Amino acid sequence: MSLDLARLLSQVDQLGAETAQRQVERAAALPKAQAALHQAAGLDPSAIQQRIERAGDRWRGASPGSEAWQISLPAPPLPPRWHAIGADGSQVYPDRHAAAQFCLVNVGSLCLTHGSGEAPVASSRPRLLFRQDELTTTQGEAVDAALVNGMRDVAEMTELADLAERFPAEPTLALLDNGLLLWLALQEFERRAPEVDALLKHYLGQMDRLRRTQAALAGVIDRPRGTNLLRLVELCMLPPEQVNPESARLRRFPNLVDRDLLETLLPPGHRSAMFQVVSPLNAAFEARGHGVHFFYLNTGYDGQIARVEVPAWVAEDADRLSCVHAGILEECRLTGIPYVLVRAHELAVVTQHDRSALESLIAGALLRQGIEPRISQKSTTKRWTASRRRHRL
Amino acid sequence: MTEKRTVIGRVTRCSIRGFVGGIRLRQPDLPVFGGWCQAPAQGGETAVVGLIYDISIEDDELARQLAAADAPSPEQQADSQLNRPIPIELQALTVGYRRAGTWVQALPPQPPITLAEITGLEPAEVRAFTQRLDFLPLALSTAEVPADQVVAAALRQAAEARPRDERRPFLLQAGQECARWLGQDLGRLERLLRDLQAGGEA
């Protein structure tokens, strides 16, 4: 081990003190934020909408729906038989030091029919990308980690759509373990490279397929750090005439997240009111009928609060929304986050061991073509120094 | 043909005398005690033949969580029992190798290398390898493994790999060979023969 822990001791102590200080600050800020939430909830909806419009395009808050902000709703009943589908992806990024240029996207999924007594269907679908047009953008640049992540996210949504189409008329909960807004597009929305546009189009196309089934699509975010609701509350604290893009960006409760605000409001199994994400990317989703809404849910497992994102066609459909609420609770009962997502992750993950085996296969394929598989000198030296020391004291 | 074999492990550590493999397998695919396996060595020039003498299931946090829960659903139980790959480690005792289609019952020139695929031997290969039983002294003399039980289990499987009418004669011949090597230790020999007899009666 080359990490000098002794040198870190004082920094670790400072980290502990800093964390404790933040907790004190959060505890002090929370009652004020809750009071502000209560006050904002009583404002006239048109006055709130006016503030949101004045906040400008760069404001990343939430727009309230028709439900009272502080409402806490218990779970509806589930049908005796329903399907839960989870998909998760893993990847190997391109490595210019490797013997051959490639990247890998692996999607794992589990399709479990509650009430059937049958073993679920598990699947793992790896895809190796190695062709020139797969590894370079239309501008001739090498595909980077962000684009690979985008491909993975599209593959996850595609897997969900493929599975949901097997049950076109049956209650089906289709889960991802992240938000629904394509992260790549969120990061690169303004650059709007053709590759990002193509991936976004494909992603939304898969959501179209899901909408045509009876599936209730949802993204589950464990230990969420989202602040959309808090930003809305902060915005509502400003007098309408003082709201502008600059004032809207000022944070009044920088140490808090939405989860803190709702923790005491939600008993186990209850969900919060529904809100809509405000962002230019969500406007693009909205234009296709997939505007992303969210609520917070006490999963009933150790008091944990999860953020659940759903498209408009789930938020506005009572049956699908019930399936999301009650289905996630049932799925979380044993594992804290949905069981199908736990298993999908297990089926997707590419371990270091898997990666080494894949590299061995690739080396063999190169040798059969008469090519000596050579990694870069930098990679070679890293292996020298990373290998276990043979002589121990 | 090699592509069709089920991989039952990948070598994680090895020596001339044996190899250890780790992998995640579903329960129906788990190897068995005394099973015949092989792993490539010397760049594929040789295939080292081993007898599985230990199979251990590594700790699995998710299974533990489900086991401790009040009531896993029938679907989750079925998932764990039929679908979930079980993290296993198997240990094999080297008893020979194959080079250029010829079986050799002696320690190999080199061990397999890390991550080499461990696969089971096909019944025809088991029959071919056990045409001779010269590997017995090598296996029976191995310390720190349950050598007698492994040999008995392996011989029973070799008998199973043969047509029904050849099984008993094979086990009788195997028992006689074991008696040659364990004649000085009658207690040990008796236990091994009882194990073999159980296979012959099955």
> How much is the ipTM here?
0.79
Which tens digit of pLDDT belongs to each residue from A216-264? 999 999 999 999 999 999 999 999 999 999 999 999 999 999 999 999 9
- Taking phi over 0 as left and psi of -120 to 50 as alpha, with beta for the rest, A316 belongs to alpha
Report the residue of chain B nearest A84, measured CA to CA: B75
Residue contacts between A and B (CB atoms, under 8 Å): 48
| Cβ–Cβ below 8 Å for B79 and A112 | yes
Which tens digit of pLDDT belongs to each residue from A78-116? 999 999 999 999 999 998 888 889 999 999 999 999 999
d(CA A235, CA A237) in angstroms, rounded, equals: 5
| Cβ–Cβ below 8 Å for A343 and B81 | no
Q: Compute the nearest-CA separation of A333 from chain B (Å).
A: 9
Question: pLDDT category, A156, cuts 50, 70, 90?
Answer: very high
Range with the poorest average pLDDT among A236-240, A278-282, A337-341, A372-376: A372-376
| Cβ–Cβ below 8 Å for A357 and B115 | yes
Nearest CB among A117, A122, A334 relative to B65 is that of: A334
Between residues A360 and A312, which one has the greater pLDDT? A312
Q: Where are the domains of chain A?
A: 82-225+272-348
Concatenating the DSSP letter of every residue in chain B gives: -GGGSPEEEEEEEEETTEEEEEEEE-GGG---TT-EEEEEEGGGTEEEEEEEEEEEEPP-HHHHHHHHSS---HHHHHIIIIISPEEEEEEEEEEEEEETTEEE-S--SSPBPTTPEEEEPPHHHHHHHTTS-TTHHHHHT-TTS-HHHHHHHHHHHHHHTS-HHHHHHHHHHHHHHHHHHHTT-HHHHHHHHHHHHHHHH-
Between residues A375 and B158, which one has the greater pLDDT? B158
Fold of A82-225+272-348: archaeoglobus fulgidus dsm 4304 fold (3.30.2170)
Nearest CB among A114, A122, A356 relative to B115 is that of: A356
d(CA A145, CA A151) in angstroms, rounded, equals: 10
Q: Find chain B residues with C-beta within 8 A of A334's C-beta.
A: 65-66, 69, 72, 76
Between residues B116 and A189, which one has the greater pLDDT? B116
Q: Is B58 on the interface with A (CB under 8 A)?
A: no
Answer yes or no: are the C-beta atoms of A14 and A211 closer than 8 Å.
Answer: no
| For residue A286, pLDDT beyond 90 | yes
A24 to each of A3, A17, A225, A227, how far by Cα in Å? 31, 11, 18, 19
Question: pLDDT category, A278, cuts 50, 70, 90?
Answer: very high
Q: Is B198 on the interface with A (CB under 8 A)?
A: no
Phi, psi of A382, rounded to the nearest 5 degrees: -65, -40
Q: Find chain A residues with C-beta within 8 A of B22's C-beta.
A: 353
A232 to each of A26, A206, A244, A264, A324, how far by Cα in Å? 18, 31, 13, 19, 25
Q: Where are the domains of chain B?
A: 7-197
Q: Compute the nearest-CA separation of B61 from chain A (Å).
A: 11
Nearest CB among B10, B22, B79 relative to A119 is that of: B79
Phi, psi of A14, rounded to the nearest 5 degrees: -60, -40
| Cβ–Cβ below 8 Å for A110 and B66 | no
d(CA B35, CA B29) in angstroms, rounded, equals: 12
Q: Is B69 on the interface with A (CB under 8 A)?
A: yes
pTM score = 0.78
Q: Report the share of chain B in percent with pLDDT over 70.
A: 96
Mutation site, A339, A350, A387, interface B, largest B CB count within 10 A: A339
Q: Compute the nearest-CA separation of A118 from chain B (Å).
A: 5
